[in-house]
Chains A and B, each alone.
Chain A
Amino acid sequence: MKISYYPGCTLRTKAKDLDDTARLCAKALGVEMEEIENWQCCGAVYPMATDEIATKLSAVRALDYAKHNGGKLLTLCSACHNVIKRTNEDMKTNADICSRANNYLKLDEPYKGETEVLHYLEMLKTVVGFDTIKKAVVNPVNRKIGAYYGCLLLRPSGVMAFDNPENPTIIEDFIRAIGGTPVVYPFRNECCGAYVALKNSELPKAKSKKVLTSAKEKGAEEVITACPLCLYNLQVNGENILPVRYFTELLAEALGVKA
């Protein structure tokens, strides 16, 4: 099947690994990720102030494009997912934001949140199915792996509806599917602090160390994530306590599609 895909700025540059491996794996699993046309950067952080409109428009454009191209929009970067999903919720439920955004965009038909925003992990779970992945694994990743969710995929849970915000299981299920042993540690849904890295470099250091120490204490050999920023932060500020990789890299390894 084909699915409209929003890569986002970082996946084009620093996080090319994430993008490449994701596409390869999807293909191997029978899903064709079709990059949407003329996408613009989502802004990387959801603007919460109630009067923000312009900052949400790139997300709405992408959503509207996907509406007319299969009705689903696939995301991979946690930040893009967070921004697009929350913006979509605004378009669905906040009449004021919806009408103002549509006034700006002047689409042929107003966009009202019709598109389903799907994260790559959700796609793996619901579209492909972890059982299918399990069967497709040629190279079981036989290691103890800690899932790092961070904030963006989970919160606010009312909107993200990704998983139980305090006790998520989707990445653990994913790890099991590719033959690994998931390590549950309490800081897997705690913020790594990366957003403030440019203003306050100490905070992200402390937070990322805490995350990795917690994972290591519970027996993890490595940590996986879906977020380029988390990856950067945990790698640079985490003092090499544990190796940190994209979850798609492990998937590629397991499926044997490594480039």
Chain B
Amino acid sequence: MQRIGVFICWCGSNISATVDVVKVAEVIKNEPGVVYSANYQYMCSENGQQLIKQAIKEHNLTGVVIGSCSPRMHEATFRKAAEEAGLNPYMVEVANIREHCSWIHKDMDEATEKALILVRTAIAKVKLNAPLTAGESPVIKRALVIGGGIAGIQAALDIADAGFEVDIVEKNATIGGRMAQLDKTFPTLDCSACILTPKMVDCAQHEKIDILSYSEVEEVKGFVGNFSVKIRRKARYVDETKCTGCKVCMDKCPSKKGLNTFNMGLNTRPAIHIPFAQAIPNVAVIDPEQCIKLKTGKCGICQKFCGVGAIDYEQKDSFIERQYGAIVVATGFKPIELDAFNEYGYNDNKDVITSLELERLMNAAGPTNGVLLRPSDGEHPKVITFIQCVGSRDTSGCGKPYCSKICCMYTAKHAMLIREKYPDTEVHVFYIDVRTPGKNYDEFFRRAVEQYGVDYIKGMVGKVYNENGKLMVQGSNLIDNEQVTIESDLVVLAAAIEPEPSVRKVATLLTASIDTNNFLTESHAKLRPVESPTAGVYLAGVCQGPKDIPETVSQASACAAKVIGLLVKDKLKTNPCVATPDESMCNGCSQCANVCAYGAITYVDKEFRLGGGKTEIRRVASVNPAVCQGCGACTVTCPSGAMDLKGFSSKQIMSEVEAICKK
């Protein structure tokens, strides 16, 4: 005999203002199977939970229904309470009478009526609930960090310092990421390389960290605690174990006209190269598109000059497969392409550059050795105009609808640095809004205006054109309600940032969800900001949303804390709401395996008694509960209904349908 207890929450006045909670609790008492019904101000509070526990014990409840907020909010809380009182946690159902009822309806009678139906529906379901026990799966005590920028580096260091093995997979030839390209960092203006490179060296020297540079994740199998990842080690045509980073090959290489991507294509580099002086690993890589030997078979000069015999033109991509308990995604960002913003003349004028290009032009290790010279003629620009929000906050379809967040600060930084280094330079900044939330940020921006005399113009630029060798920047000055044209020598565009495009592939491999802007989705915007909805996958840096270095580092450390928290466990509880086949009805037709995204279904030959002493061997489905994620795709594809989903069984859902439709 079912003994069900019903608990109706007031949620202060959140529910009770529109739902007559007392009436609901009263009426529900008469439902068949219900032996206890109560209402309380805050069911989720300590006292509320106590009430549930007490009732379970006193009334010997076999099932519990709570009419409260969304199960996405407190289902876990109530399940835990039930468990503590000795009831299987999966004998608890939540009727969502807040988000789906009291908050959206105004009429008390109507809302109360609906709340009653929702509670009855939950009762109908709980009557068919079965106690479920979570399984256990082991945890592999090793983490994978995808992306070797500052986010990946910080996460890896923190995890490794806690004593766990970490692999960093970086698609480029060196770790360091975008931060390695920057000149100075706001709001303190310390040199980016000076604070980043020591961390890169720490990574290289850490005994627990393995850097897999020039590598990409190829395949991911498994689940939280037990991922199996196939990694492609791209052929760099240089033996990483032999190369000493002496750079002789770079001098000797006859093919020197490749665009230096590290310098944003502002100068050239040899086909065999080390991306920059502080690269980790400090190992050369050959660009096969540019290498004469690899393209024509003739040359081989670098091999001749390499003192340690590290050059290997025959190298092929290789694959390694490793097991991990947790994965951190830190794939970073890139500035958007500016093809859709021809009004700023980026494609037509060499002296219209992006902010990241300016970083390289101002960097002591950059193409101009840190002297600011215009790309067109190498002259020192006297008038520099910055344009903010290029492609950010753009809903017209040309750009990105979001604010890229970092541009206001770096533009202030650039303006300030230029005025500091070259006081004879005039600097203008066109802006829509200056957004500087953050410690010492607004002070920083104001310094640019007040101390350095940067001319901030509230308005947007309509057109940049070349006239008599000058860049004419025509825009509005909204404060003075005028249209201005500034004769400039250099125009710097604060291009919007977007997630590194490879993140889509990574997200697909990890089954991590991604939003319309290609940012990875966090599990909860406020309360679980570093976890992906896919268990065991964590997010750090701009792959999750635009952020600056301090925020990225914080998020990376937070990721590390989550990963460490996972890896210290020896075993993990698995979701018991998984698919389960009734073998006696299974046809073995393979349709369910065809739709399973996780490969959780396999087939076994099983012997069945037919009666009369006869037996037969049939092929039947078998679900690996540790791999099954419980989506239910298989249940619908099964024609005989042999496949069912625990916790969301066909009968349970049918009973909910009936309870709702009952007139």
- A166–B343 CB distance below 8 A: yes
B465 sits at the interface (CB 8 A):
yes
- A166–B342 CB distance below 8 A: yes
Within 8 A of A (CB), among B423-480: 463, 465-468, 472
Within 8 A of A (CB), among B313-353: 341-343, 345, 347-348
In the bound complex, residues from chain B placing their C-beta under 8 Å from that of A214 are 465, 467
Q: Find the A residue at minimum CB distance from B397.
A: A158
- B347–A167 CB distance below 8 A: yes
| Bound-state Cα–Cα, A164 to B467, Å | 21
In the bound complex, residues from chain A placing their C-beta under 8 Å from that of B348 are 167, 184
Within 8 A of A (CB), among B96-147: none
Q: Which of A158, A166, A184, A217 has the most CB of B within 10 A?
A: A166
For the complex formed, measure the closest distance between the CB of B132 and the CB atoms of chain A, giving whole angstroms.
52
Which of B341, B342, B463, B468 is in CB contact (< 8 Å) with A217? Answer: B468
Q: In the complex where A164-B342, A166-B342, A167-B342 touch, is A186 in contact with B347 (Cβ < 8 A)?
A: no
| Bound-state Cα–Cα, A201 to B347, Å | 35
A246 sits at the interface (CB 8 A):
no
In the bound complex, residues from chain A placing their C-beta under 8 Å from that of B472 are 186
In the bound complex, residues from chain A placing their C-beta under 8 Å from that of B466 are 186
A148 sits at the interface (CB 8 A):
no
Q: In the complex where A167-B347, A167-B348 touch, is A187 in contact with B342 (Cβ < 8 A)?
A: no
- A186–B468 CB distance below 8 A: no
For the complex formed, measure the closest distance between the CB of B472 and the CB atoms of chain A, giving whole angstroms.
8
| Bound-state Cα–Cα, A214 to B343, Å | 16
- A186–B465 CB distance below 8 A: yes
Q: Find the A residue at minimum CB distance from B349.
A: A186
In the bound complex, residues from chain A placing their C-beta under 8 Å from that of B463 are 186
For the complex formed, measure the closest distance between the CB of B81 and the CB atoms of chain A, giving whole angstroms.
55
| Bound-state Cα–Cα, A165 to B465, Å | 14
Across chains A and B, the number of contacting residue pairs, with CB separation under 8 Å, is 21
For the complex formed, measure the closest distance between the CB of B493 and the CB atoms of chain A, giving whole angstroms.
14
In the bound complex, residues from chain B placing their C-beta under 8 Å from that of A158 are 397
Q: In the complex where A164-B342, A166-B342 touch, is A187 in contact with B347 (Cβ < 8 A)?
A: no
For the complex formed, measure the closest distance between the CB of B394 and the CB atoms of chain A, giving whole angstroms.
14
| Bound-state Cα–Cα, A187 to B345, Å | 12
Within 8 A of A (CB), among B525-562: none
Within 8 A of B (CB), among A184-201: 184, 186-187
Interface string of B367-406 (1 = CB under 8 A from A): 0000000000000000000000000000001000000000
Q: Find the A residue at minimum CB distance from B344.
A: A166
In the bound complex, residues from chain A placing their C-beta under 8 Å from that of B347 are 167
| Bound-state Cα–Cα, A184 to B468, Å | 14
Within 8 A of B (CB), among A35-68: none
- A186–B342 CB distance below 8 A: no
- A186–B343 CB distance below 8 A: no
- B343–A217 CB distance below 8 A: no
In the bound complex, residues from chain B placing their C-beta under 8 Å from that of A166 are 341-343
- B468–A187 CB distance below 8 A: no
In the bound complex, residues from chain A placing their C-beta under 8 Å from that of B397 are 158
For the complex formed, measure the closest distance between the CB of A155 and the CB atoms of chain B, giving whole angstroms.
12
| Bound-state Cα–Cα, A164 to B466, Å | 18
| Bound-state Cα–Cα, A164 to B343, Å | 10
| Bound-state Cα–Cα, A167 to B348, Å | 9
| Bound-state Cα–Cα, A186 to B345, Å | 9
Interface string of A165-185 (1 = CB under 8 A from B): 111000000000000000010
- B465–A187 CB distance below 8 A: yes
Which of A165, A167, A186 is in CB contact (< 8 Å) with B467? Answer: A186
| Bound-state Cα–Cα, A186 to B474, Å | 12
| Bound-state Cα–Cα, A214 to B465, Å | 10
For the complex formed, measure the closest distance between the CB of B489 and the CB atoms of chain A, giving whole angstroms.
17
| Bound-state Cα–Cα, A186 to B397, Å | 24
For the complex formed, measure the closest distance between the CB of B467 and the CB atoms of chain A, giving whole angstroms.
7
In the bound complex, residues from chain A placing their C-beta under 8 Å from that of B343 are 166
| Bound-state Cα–Cα, A158 to B467, Å | 29
Q: Find the B residue at minimum CB distance from A213.
A: B467
In the bound complex, residues from chain B placing their C-beta under 8 Å from that of A187 are 465
| Bound-state Cα–Cα, A177 to B468, Å | 29
Q: Find the B residue at minimum CB distance from A166.
A: B342
| Bound-state Cα–Cα, A217 to B466, Å | 10
In the bound complex, residues from chain B placing their C-beta under 8 Å from that of A167 are 342, 347-348
| Bound-state Cα–Cα, A165 to B347, Å | 14
For the complex formed, measure the closest distance between the CB of A73 and the CB atoms of chain B, giving whole angstroms.
27
| Bound-state Cα–Cα, A158 to B347, Å | 21
A selection of 21 A-B contacts at a CB cut-off of 8 Å is A158-B397, A164-B342, A165-B342, A166-B341, A166-B342, A166-B343, A167-B342, A167-B347, A167-B348, A184-B348, A186-B345, A186-B463, A186-B465, A186-B466, A186-B467, A186-B472, A187-B465, A214-B465, A214-B467, A217-B467, A217-B468
Q: List 7 extra interface pairs beyond A164-B342, A166-B342, CB under 8 A.
A: A158-B397, A167-B347, A167-B348, A186-B345, A186-B463, A186-B472, A214-B467
